[in-house]
Structure 1
Amino acid sequence: MSEKNPIQVSDRIFRTIELLARSGPSGLLDISNELELNKSTVHRILNSLICMDYVKQDPDTSKYSLTFKICSLSNQVLSHNSLIDIARPYIQDLAEQTGETVHLVQMEGINAVYIDKVEAPHNSVRMVSMVGKTIPLYCSGVGKAILADMDDDQIRQIWEQSELHTYTANTVTDYNTFLEVIGAIRNNGYSMDNEEMEIGVRCIAVSLGCVHHKLPYAISISAPKDRMKDKQITQYKKLLLNTKKQLLAELGQ
């Protein structure tokens, strides 16, 4: 659970940015209603963001939207992560071998954030994931792979801080059942997301651990469930574990 921002104006500015990122072009009244702020306050915030080139207003519709300056910030953050450059050939190779989408994620609080993504060029079904998007640790393949490397006290702390949401009928929200899942991941060496976040999508993942003593990372292969059956899971498990071994060797882990 996130703490209340002690600086009110910062809270309002970033809530406005997050709303526009989530909703796309929006009118003043819609933004005001969503944020539960009066229109004059929202108007001042938007004008400030326009002056800083983070927001623009369509002259025809009067709606507000984010500019690509936000993207430049995220690109600068990612440019300082050397693991992305080192891991990129490995996840590209996985995408080519499997014909599916491969992700590289980093743990961030109680979530995992996508920091790289490669889709096979001939893949006709695209995953809705995107670089910069966060997903909960407790119900994602990459998240559970990361958690399985932790001790039970750390897992319990993250579980209690998470806002447990039943995304599908397969989402595990009982803690004892979740610990059984973690135990299986530790025994098998890989994690599965069996339509726990999205119906029709399966994911297999392995943890890379804390690379260079920093935050934990994981890699995954995602696909529609009809393209990830038991035969593919057996194949992808071997590919992921081999990729993990090679990548960690290059990193000197």
Structure 2
Amino acid sequence: MDNHLSSVKNSCTLLKMFLDSPKEMGVSELSRQLQLSKGAVHKLLATLESEGFIKQNPTNKQYSLGYTLLELGNKVLKDHNLVEFSKQYLQRLSDTTQELTCLCVRDDYEAIYVDRIDSKHPIRFNVDIYRRFPLYATSAARAILAFQEPLFIESILSSGIRTYTAYSMKEPAEVKKRLDIIHANGYEVSENMRNVGVMGIAAPIFDTNGAVNASISMIGPANRVKPSLETMIEHVTTTAREISAQLGYRG
């Protein structure tokens, strides 16, 4: 039983080696990295090849990932529900920060909050699930917009922007500068821009292709969030990185 489990683990390790390696690898390189004999690696490859997980190039005898993995990956994507998948991370972030946490997704030119975990504090901020906002309007929305193509951003801002408070950005040029900062930092922090007295921290969620169509955010009264701002930023960005990694992002 132990040998069988070891073989399965070695097979999984072999497959994952291709994630950060050239398209094709030979037995010698695989043997060296796995620290297994060439004979053992040959057996692993033969088994994986028989099930379509590995394929061999008949010209150079090198190995690459097989199409069965593509079928399985497509099945995962088809069955994947981001809201359900992210729930545990959203809950953990709320438990850690004790503030409202939200999952936001992009729907064409708008952002939608699709899930939330409410703060346990008696004084707290709230958001309406499934309410739509322009992609420049909230911290969670801007954390998505900052990682879109320049032409898309231009199309969002070309008709002007709406202001929500006296502290809101008032010109598209201001939004563009802020998006550059968000892109460089990897997160957004805003205060009073959508609601006075409220602070939001948001970070992008990357999918397996490196695209950003969702974000996770934490929102609370500014006077409660600011004293622990750096810690709160770390909690939010760590959570976003963990979700991204689970979605297959390897940036």
Q: CA deviation at 1:192?
A: 1.9
Kept in 2: contact 1:90–1:247 (CA 8 A) = yes
Q: Are residue 165 (structure 1) and residue 167 (structure 2) matched?
A: no
Larger radius of gyration between Structure 1 and Structure 2: 2
Which structure 2 residues correspond to residues 220-231 of structure 1 after superposition, within 5 A? 220-229=217-226, 231=227
2:105 aligned with 1:106: yes
Amino acid at match of 1:149: F
- Let me know the Cα RMSD of the aligned residues: 2.1
Whole-angstrom distance in 2 between the partners of 1:210 and 1:113: 18
Change (3 A) 1:193 1:173: same
1:171 and 1:148, CA in 2 relative to 1: closer, same or farther beyond 3 A? same
User: Given that residues 84 and 115 in structure 1 are in contact (C-alpha distance below 8 angstroms), is that contact kept between their aligned partners in structure 2?
Assistant: yes
Rounded to whole Å, the distance in 1 between the matches of 2:244 and 2:175 is: 28
Matches within 5 A, 1:135-174: 135-161=133-159, 164-174=161-171
Q: Is the 8 A contact 1:192 1:204 kept in 2?
A: yes
Q: Offset at 1:215? A: 7.0
Amino acid at match of 1:209: F
* Separation in 2, partners of 1:199, 1:152: 30
TM-score (normalised: structure 1): 0.62
- 1:182 matched residue in structure 2: 179
Indicate the residue corresponding to 2:81 in structure 1.
82
Q: CA deviation at 1:236?
A: 1.3
Counterpart amino acid of 2:155? Q
In the alignment, which residue of structure 1 is the partner of 2:15? none
- Alignment gaps of 5+ in structure 1: 1-79
Shift of the 154–201 alpha-carbon distance from structure 1 to 2, 3 Å rule, reads: same
Alpha-carbon separation, structure 2, partners of 1:169 and 1:152: 27
Going from structure 1 to structure 2, the CA distance change for 1:84 and 1:212 (only over 3 Å counts) comes to farther
Q: Does 1:217 align with 2:214?
A: yes
Deviation at 1:139?
Answer: 2.2
Report if the CA contact (8 A) 2:158-2:172 is conserved.
Answer: no
Counterpart amino acid of 1:172?
Answer: M
SS of the residue aligned with 1:186? helix
Query: How many positions carry a matched residue from both structures?
Result: 171
After superposition, what is the alpha-carbon deviation per residue over 1:68-89, rounded to whole angstroms, capped at 9, x for unaligned? Answer: xxxxxxxxxxxx8611111101
Give the TM-score of the pair, scaled to structure 2.
Answer: 0.63
Q: Which string of whole-angstrom CA distances, capped at 9 and with x for unpartnered residues, describes residues 212-248 of structure 1?
A: 788700000000111121x422111111121122212
> Identity over aligned residues, as a percent?
24
Aligned mates of 1:81, 1:116 — CA distance in 2: 16
1:196 to 169, 193, 197: 193
Q: Alpha-carbon deviation of 1:201? A: 0.9
SS in 1 for 2:158: helix
**Which residue pairs with 1:241 in the alignment?**
237
Provide the C-alpha distance between the structure 2 equivalents of 1:154 and 1:219, rounded to a whole number of angstroms. 21
